[in-house]
């Protein structure tokens, strides 16, 4: 296929995604014309027509090949996503500055998508389903909800090729020695800094590093070893930390150690030659998927104790241990505050997250004989023919669709809901934060990760979590239950299941009402069992009511459009649109309710 083919294909995909997500977030209005035909009329005089199916989530599943751009009497095939945003700028209420930056992110995203489409062209879903987790992540489209999900502002073509996940290129870290008293750090009792070094370096490499340390008179009682991404070093650390470097408080040791593969999150790396070795998460000061991908220092001291406590919680809790729920523990964290920015109240957050690292357990270290792990995002991935990895796994498991989903929901949703209702712990469990463990292609358990900002606590009396580490309690956000429940509703149902249910409907003709009926049955069965053991849990289930009729529509793309690209002291926070009918509630009503119907999706003020 030619480059122009892939460019047009990438544009159509992101155009369909933009129309569907912006209509879902009620930034645009889609009116149904005929049976499956919709039109979005814009103030610019341009309209976009397409064929789509309205899903149970009040979200349009658009056939990208049917999108047509109409201007006056002229009807054109729509294959220019940038032109769409120019056409819709007045409707989206975005400034010229915001639009310019959005087009920058869009251009980067499309360039990356073109590379992925080309890479995936000859890979059938059946083949990709057999890839290792690490290998498969190089083929994934990324967050389905974020329109420009590979913006990577700060990188050019060379960096995309050298460090982008889709390139499949390996990276070797640079290593620094940082004076211990200038860091914020923590590690579990089972690990020390020498062991962390050994996780990344061979024996020969360790000997070479030790020789350099002797030559530079580095005493590890006074210094701590710290890996740094080579791009981050060249573009930020050399300049921003020049004072500490000149004083010898930070010392560059050079490039050492194993090769690492960037995962789909871009800043987390898996060890190429030793899959069971710790993953390493490093800051990258690029704007990607809504924010700069730094590492906040406030979690470094509590991360190891919090994740260890979470694993102990999973081990002692009967409902979690019975399901094999596990934690990819953050065994160590290290942050080097900036001398000057730390003194500036309200300085852009990216300047406070530039230098540090987190070491986290690998999923491979949690798998036994006959098991394998897979990022949940992989379920949503389709090949060039439209076949998904989820469908392949269902077919190869030998189970019915219903039974396969029961395994999935009992292994993933039940633990998330149990943590929420029993302990008041909310996890933003999007598809890149959940690692599935499979046996014979059915999901048997889940591994949870990423508690730096994606774990929050519900306010209230939860004696079951009274032994949570005080260091974690001091930094974790605590919000009312009606906010925390969105870590499940929005973080998982909307961000993951919305796409899975619509895909199975399209591909396997498995109705969405049936999909959420299976989920409702699994949750009802769980509730019944728990209340039989502890009647007081009925109050918690009422407090965290996943079966309520309506839920709030949380919007992430509108945040970027309304906030623009100015620097801020805090990361962007989603906004709320109009209410949605809850698919779990709908699934327990009459069988026909919630299926596709004539509808107009209208914009609202927020």
What pLDDT does 3 receive?
83
DSSP state of 278: P
pLDDT at 592: 47
pLDDT digit string, tens, across residues 289-328: 878 899 888 889 899 999 999 999 999 999 999 999 999 9
Q: Count of domains in the chain?
A: 3
| Shared-domain flag, residues 486 and 563 | yes
Residue 346 shares a structural domain with residue 492: no
> What angle in degrees, to the nearest 10, is found between the helix axes of 3-24 and 96-120?
130
Torsion (CA) 61, 64, 70, 75 in degrees, nearest 10? -140
> For position 513, what pLDDT does the model report?
96
Residues 252 and 347 in one domain: yes
Instruction: Give 596 or 17, the one with higher predicted confidence.
Output: 17
pLDDT confidence of residue 590: 66
DSSP letter at 34? Answer: S
For 452, the domain range is: 370-601
State the Rg of the chain over Cα.
Answer: 24
CA atoms of 159 and 140, how far apart (whole Å)? 19
Neighbours of 370 (CB within 10 A): 8
Q: Kindly report the CATH number assigned to the domain that includes residue 565.
A: 1.10.510.40
The distance from CA 606 to its chain's CA centroid, rounded to whole angstroms, is 25
Q: Are residues 76 and 172 in the same domain?
A: no
In a domain, 379, yes or no: yes
d(CA 42, CA 18): 14
- Residues in Cβ contact with 341 at an 8 Å cutoff, skipping those fewer than 6 apart: 347, 351, 352
Using CB atoms within 10 A of its CB, is residue 66 exposed (0-12), middle (13-18) or buried (19+)?
middle
Q: Give the percent of the chain with pLDDT over 90.
A: 88
Do residues 601 and 24 lie in contact, with contact meaning Cβ atoms separated by under 8 Å? yes
Q: Is residue 152 part of a domain?
A: no
C-beta separation of 357 from 303 below 8 A? no
Residue 594: per-residue pLDDT = 43
Res. 43 pLDDT band, cuts 50 70 90? very high
| Mean pLDDT computed over every residue of the chain | 93
* CA gap 411, 413 in Å, rounded: 6
- At 591 the pLDDT is 57
pLDDT digits (tens, 9 = 90+) for 460-486: 999 999 999 999 999 999 999 999 999
- pLDDT at position 603: 56
Q: How do residues 552-586 score in pLDDT, each as one tens digit? A: 999 999 988 988 887 777 777 778 888 999 999 99
268 pLDDT band, cuts 50/70/90, is: very high
CB 323 within 8 A of CB 411: yes
Q: What is the DSSP string of 236-253?
A: IIHHHTHHHHHTTSEEEE
Q: Can you give the pLDDT at residue 453? A: 76
Both tokens of 445, joined, read 């358990």
Band of pLDDT at residue 599, cut at 50, 70 and 90: very low
Q: Do 291 and 377 lie in a common domain?
A: no
Same domain, yes or no: 247 and 281: yes
CATH number at residue 18: 3.30.310.280
Within 42-109, strands assigned E span: 46-54, 60-62, 68-71, 74-77
């Amino acid at each position: 296929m030619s480059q122009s083919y892939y460019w047009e294909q990438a544009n159509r995909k992101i155009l369909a995604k933009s129309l569907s997500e912006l209509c879902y977030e009620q930034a645009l209005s889609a009116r149904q014309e005929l049976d499956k035909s919709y039109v979005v009329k814009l103030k610019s005089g341009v309209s976009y027509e397409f064929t789509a199916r309205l899903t149970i989530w009040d979200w349009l599943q658009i056939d990208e090949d049917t999108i047509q751009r109409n201007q006056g009497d002229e009807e054109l095939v729509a294959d220019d996503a940038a032109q769409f945003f120019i056409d819709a700028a007045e409707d989206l209420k975005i400034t010229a500055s915001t639009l310019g930056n959005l087009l920058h992110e869009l251009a980067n995203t499309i360039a990356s998508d073109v590379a992925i489409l080309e890479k995936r062209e000859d890979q059938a879903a059946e083949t990709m389903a057999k890839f290792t987790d690490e290998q498969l992540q190089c083929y994934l489209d990324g967050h389905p909800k974020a329109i420009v999900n590979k913006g990577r502002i700060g990188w050019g073509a060379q960096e995309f090729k050298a460090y982008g996940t889709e390139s499949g290129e390996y990276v070797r870290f640079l290593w620094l020695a940082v004076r211990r008293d200038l860091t914020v750090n923590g590690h579990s009792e089972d690990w020390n800094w020498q062991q962390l070094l050994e996780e990344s370096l061979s024996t020969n490499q360790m000997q070479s590093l030790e020789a350099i340390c002797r030559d530079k008179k580095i005493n590890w009682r006074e210094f701590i070893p710290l890996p740094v991404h080579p791009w981050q070093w060249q573009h930020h650390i050399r300049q921003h930390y020049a004072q500490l470097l000149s004083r010898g408080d930070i010392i560059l040791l050079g490039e050492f150690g194993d090769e690492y593969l960037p995962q789909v999150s871009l800043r987390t790396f898996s060890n190429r030659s030793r899959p069971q070795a710790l993953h390493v998460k490093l800051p990258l000061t690029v704007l990607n998927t809504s924010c700069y991908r730094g590492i906040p220092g406030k979690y470094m001291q509590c991360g190891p104790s919090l994740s260890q406590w979470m694993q102990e919680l999973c081990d002692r809790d009967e409902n979690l241990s019975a399901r094999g729920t596990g934690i990819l523990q953050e065994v160590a964290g290290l942050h080097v505050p900036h001398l000057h920015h730390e003194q500036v109240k309200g300085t852009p957050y990216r300047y406070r997250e530039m230098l540090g690292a987190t070491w986290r357990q690998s999923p491979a270290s949690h798998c036994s004989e006959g098991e394998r792990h897979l990022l949940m995002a992989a379920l949503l991935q389709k090949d060039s023919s439209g076949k998904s990895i989820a469908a392949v796994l269902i077919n190869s498991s030998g189970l019915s669709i219903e039974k396969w989903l029961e395994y999935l929901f009992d292994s993933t949703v039940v633990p998330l809901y149990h943590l929420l209702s029993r302990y008041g712990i909310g996890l933003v469990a999007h598809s890149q934060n959940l690692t599935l463990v499979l046996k014979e292609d059915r999901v048997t358990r889940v591994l949870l990760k990423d508690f730096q900002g994606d774990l929050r606590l519900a306010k209230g009396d939860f004696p079951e979590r009274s032994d949570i580490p005080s260091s974690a309690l001091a930094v974790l956000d605590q919000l009312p239950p009606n906010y925390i429940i969105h870590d499940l509703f929005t973080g998982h149902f909307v961000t993951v299941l919305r796409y899975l249910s619509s895909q199975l409907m399209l591909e396997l003709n498995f109705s969405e009402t049936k999909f959420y009926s299976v989920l409702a049955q699994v949750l009802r069965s769980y509730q019944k069992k728990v209340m039989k053991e502890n009647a007081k849990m009925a109050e918690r289930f009422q407090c965290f009511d996943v079966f309520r009729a309506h839920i709030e529509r949380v919007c992430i793309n509108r945040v970027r459009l309304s906030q623009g690209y100015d620097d801020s002291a805090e990361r962007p926070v989603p906004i709320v649109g109009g209410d949605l009918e809850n698919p779990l509630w709908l699934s327990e009503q009459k069988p026909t309710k919630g299926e596709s119907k004539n509808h107009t999706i209208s914009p609202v003020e927020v």
